[in-house]
């Protein structure tokens, strides 16, 4: 492990230089990785492992769009693309990458397929941590492990292809074989992690659910909408409102933050922008702090889990989701976004 100073707090992380891909291949040489589900995380992790020379089979329900996607990606029906049950039976490391609701619905089947000494792998602590709601209690004779990429499944793949990798957390919930740690790290490296940092199943799911609902998605979307609507209400054009709310953030400022941090972004903006941002940041921090407190309490209590499982298990969930997403897509703000993106130099017809 490398000891890294994270702003005065020293943490131990595993880098791809310390736990190399060659070592991961050695650890996994006698393993078959069964990837259950080919929706969000499944494609990126399965394809990266396959490209890294790991034996991978995909378990997916035949006749679905995900089955067709896996087939188009080169997984062969009846060989490396099989039913969920067949994959779970034949895998020695069973990656349960189905949706949270899907994991609940298929748990009895998956559990019956596990053999002593297998590893049950998750990329999210949800199912195990909220077992009182999900009913997912792993048997005692398997390893229960986690590697959680800090990004979408799409990014797991695109970062792998451009050689940058993606950061992942890892955790061991149950070590039956005595090999759980090396199996976890080997898979973590094989799926394309640049470095891995230790956590627990509980901390992973608490931080993940908070982050998704907060800064990463929910808060970001809500704040963007509030500012865009304010500008429009005060007579600014859709183009101006969208550029000042979204385009400048995504195409310029956030890239400076990614390069060297928030202070670097401030240092590369005008003095007027610097002063305004530094003065107003605490006001926004203090305004949203109570919302984050409530959010975290709901995550810890399991209230978020109950609501999510109830909604995602409804037979008309996909229909309702598509309606919600369509409303966002058709809103003025994001229609303005389509127009602005079309005007980027790389998207204009020449």
pLDDT at residue 127, rounded to an integer: 94
Distance of CA 133 to the CA centre of its chain: 22
From first to last of its 350 residues, the chain has per-residue pLDDT tens of: 788 888 888 888 999 899 999 999 999 999 999 999 999 899 999 999 999 999 999 999 999 999 999 999 999 999 999 999 999 999 999 999 999 889 999 999 999 999 999 999 999 999 999 999 999 999 999 999 999 999 889 999 999 999 988 999 999 999 999 999 999 999 999 999 989 999 999 999 999 999 999 999 999 999 999 999 999 999 999 999 999 999 999 999 999 998 999 999 999 999 999 999 999 999 999 999 999 999 999 999 999 999 999 998 889 998 999 999 999 999 999 999 999 999 888 887 65
Q: With contact defined as beta carbons under 8 Å apart, do 239 and 339 qualify?
A: yes
For this structure, is 124 an active site residue? Answer: yes
The catalytic position among 124, 173, 236, 329 is: 124
Gap between the terminal Cα atoms of the chain = 51
**pTM score of the predicted model:** 0.89
pLDDT at residue 177, rounded to an integer: 98
pLDDT at residue 349, rounded to an integer: 64
For 71, residues 6+ apart whose C-beta sits below 8 A from its C-beta are 77, 81
pLDDT at residue 348, rounded to an integer: 73
In the chain the domains, ranked by start, together with CATH numbers, are 2-199 (3.40.50.720), 211-347 (1.10.1040.10)
Q: Are strands 143-149 and 119-122 parallel, antiparallel or unpaired?
A: parallel
Task: Return the beta strands (E) in 163-249 as ranges.
Answer: 166-174, 193-198
């Amino acid at each position: 492990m490398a000891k890294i100073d994270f702003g005065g707090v020293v943490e131990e992380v595993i880098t791809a230089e310390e736990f190399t891909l060659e070592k991961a291949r050695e650890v996994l040489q006698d393993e078959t990785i069964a990837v259950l589900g080919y929706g969000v995380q499944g494609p990126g992790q399965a394809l990266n492992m396959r490209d890294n020379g790991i034996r991978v089979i995909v378990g997916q329900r035949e006749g679905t769009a995900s089955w067709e996607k896996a087939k188009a990606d080169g997984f062969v029906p009846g060989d490396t693309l099989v039913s969920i049950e067949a994959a779970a039976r034949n895998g020695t490391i069973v990656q349960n990458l189905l949706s949270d609701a899907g994991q609940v619905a298929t748990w009895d089947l998956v559990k019956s397929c596990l053999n002593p000494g297998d590893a049950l792998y998750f990329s999210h602590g949800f199912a195990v941590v909220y077992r009182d709601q999900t009913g997912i209690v792993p048997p005692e004779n398997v390893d229960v492990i986690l590697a959680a990429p800090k990004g979408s499944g799409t990014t797991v793949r695109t970062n792998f292809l451009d050689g940058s990798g993606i950061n992942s957390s890892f955790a061991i919930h149950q070590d039956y074989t005595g090999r759980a740690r090396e199996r976890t790290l080997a898979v973590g490296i094989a799926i394309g992690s640049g470095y891995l940092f230790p956590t627990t199943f509980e901390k992973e799911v608490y931080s993940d659910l908070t982050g998704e609902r907060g800064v990463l998605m929910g808060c970001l979307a809500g704040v963007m909408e509030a500012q865009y609507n304010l500008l429009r209400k005060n007579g600014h054009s859709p183009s101006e409102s969208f550029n000042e709310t979204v385009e400048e953030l995504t195409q310029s400022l956030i890239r400076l933050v990614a390069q060297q941090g928030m202070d670097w972004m401030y240092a590369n903006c005008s003095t007027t922008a610097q002063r305004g941002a530094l003065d107003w940041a605490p006001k926004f921090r203090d305004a949203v702090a109570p919302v984050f407190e409530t959010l975290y309490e709901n995550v810890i209590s399991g209230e978020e889990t109950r609501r999510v499982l109830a909604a995602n298990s409804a037979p008309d969930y996909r229909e309702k989701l598509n309606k919600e997403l369509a409303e966002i897509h058709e809103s003025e703000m994001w229609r303005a976004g389509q127009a602005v993106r079309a005007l980027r130099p790389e998207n204009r017809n020449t």
